[in-house]
Amino acid sequence: LTQQHYDLVCRVLDRSRDVFLEQFPGSRFVLILGMTTSKNDPFIEECLETNLIEYVDLRKLKRRKKGFAYPHDGHFTPRAAQLIASQLVPVVYPR
């Protein structure tokens, strides 16, 4: 991937936020960096922070942790879904 690819992704995310907020005024646009999103591309955090896009970073969760994915499948188990939900609920329902 080149910087041009990263710039395009950043512009798409920025515009997506704008379109969403135009259609749903007063809402929040929150991007979720999933557990399978690459940790090797620091451009994404820079893009989100530069464009003031709120995000939740699930990449820090240990996807390979035992019991988080079904063997030979890779889909998340209920245990993993519970962990993901525990990260998202405070964002969706802040106190």
Confidence (pTM) = 0.74
Mean pLDDT of the region 59-76: 74
* 54 close to 28: Cβ distance less than 8 angstroms: yes
Cα separation of 2 and 39, whole Å? 16
Share above pLDDT 90 across residues of the chain, in percent, rounded to a whole number = 34
Say how many Å lie between the first and final Cα of the chain, rounded: 40
Query: Residue 61 contacts by C-beta under 8 Å, 6 or more apart in sequence?
Result: 35, 83, 84, 87
Query: Residue 37 contacts by C-beta under 8 Å, 6 or more apart in sequence?
Result: 44, 58, 59
Query: Residue 76 contacts by C-beta under 8 Å, 6 or more apart in sequence?
Result: 35, 68, 69, 84
Share above pLDDT 70 across residues of the chain, in percent, rounded to a whole number = 88
Confidence tier at 34 by pLDDT (50, 70, 90) = confident
pLDDT tens digits, 1-22 = 788 988 899 999 999 999 999 9
Confidence tier at 38 by pLDDT (50, 70, 90) = low
Asked whether residue 40 carries a pLDDT value surpassing 70, the answer given is no
